Amino acid sequence: FDSALKADFAFVDFFAEWCMPCVMMSPVIDEVSVKKDMKKVHFVKVNVDDFGELAEKFGVMSIPNMIILKKGKEVGRIVGGVSAEALEEKIKSCMK
């Protein structure tokens, strides 16, 4: 996670293994993460059951909760399930 904070752009997926919407978002995030225009983005998954303090630090109250960071500062957030297209568009809009 520390490397994500140092990256120019990072996408942090706060999830739990028991969370069905989180499980459904996992392949969507994987699909977006391998796209050519996402090479600049550092993708990280954070299990809220294992890293509750980190989730609390970022104000994660419900999951799935995905935060986009630019040089360690939050520039975007998505709560709940979204399509691959919506996810990619949100990330791109935060990279401007």
Catalytic residues: 19, 22
Number of other residues whose CB lies within 10 A of the CB of residue 71:
11
Q: Are 38 and 91 in contact (CB under 8 A)?
A: yes
One-character DSSP codes across 41-77 = EEEEEEETTT-HHHHHHTT--SSSEEEEEETTEEEEE
